[in-house]
């Protein structure tokens, strides 16, 4: 039984070798034929030109394509901002009296007398407040409303 299986496998291997030998001879015959060489040169030239054309199209598209979805707003004014397709609202709340926990809306970011307490954005945008510069930075990816809170010193 084992001998029959080995013979079948050996026949299969011999047939495969013969097939690849015929394919190789046919391929070499086409490569050496002058008519086929001309067709190969024309086909290769057309493929090269198409490749260059497609590469230039993608390159020019990539030159004008902005990959960032959203942008950073630095030193945003308090209130509503309309930039392109983005609607951003920054609300500033200051504590009315020390330790009261009651906040009132302010029209500006306070310079003195208050400490930064935190922020919240409705659609989870990131807001960073710089205490030294008294400015906010927001990476805006969609329409959002952010509130920033300051406690009375």
Are 58 and 46 spatial neighbours (Cβ–Cβ below 8 Å)? no
Per residue of the chain (153 residues), give pLDDT as tens.
778 888 888 988 999 999 999 988 888 877 788 887 888 889 999 999 999 998 888 777 655 555 555 556 655 556 666 665 567 788 899 998 888 889 999 888 888 888 899 998 888 888 888 887 777 877 777 788 888 999 988
> What are the backbone dihedrals phi and psi of residue 116, each rounded to the nearest 5 degrees, phi first?
-70, 130
What does the domain layout of the chain look like in residue ranges? Answer: 2-64, 71-152
| DSSP code per residue over 4-18 | HHHHHHHHHHHHHHH
Q: Which structure tokens are listed for 52? A: 């260059």
Are 130 and 137 spatial neighbours (Cβ–Cβ below 8 Å)? yes
Q: Which structure tokens are listed for 70? A: 């959203």
Give the span between the Cα atoms of 73 and 84, in whole angstroms: 13
Q: Which structure tokens are listed for 137? A: 């930075």
pLDDT at 52: 92
């Amino acid at each position: 039984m084992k001998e029959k299986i080995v013979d079948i496998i050996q026949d299969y291997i011999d047939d495969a070798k013969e097939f690849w030998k015929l394919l190789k001879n046919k391929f070499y015959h086409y490569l050496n034929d002058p008519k086929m060489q001309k067709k190969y040169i024309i086909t290769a030239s057309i493929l090269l030109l198409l490749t260059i054309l497609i590469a230039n199209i993608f390159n020019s598209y990539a030159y004008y394509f902005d990959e960032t979805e959203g942008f950073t707003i630095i030193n945003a004014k308090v209130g509503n901002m309309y930039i392109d397709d983005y609607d951003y609202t920054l609300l500033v709340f200051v504590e009315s009296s020390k330790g009261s926990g009651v906040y009132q809306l302010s029209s500006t970011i306070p310079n003195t007398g208050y400490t930064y307490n935190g922020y919240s954005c409705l659609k989870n945008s990131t807001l960073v407040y710089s205490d030294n510069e008294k400015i906010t930075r927001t990476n805006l990816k969609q329409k959002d409303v952010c509130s920033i809170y300051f406690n009375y010193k």
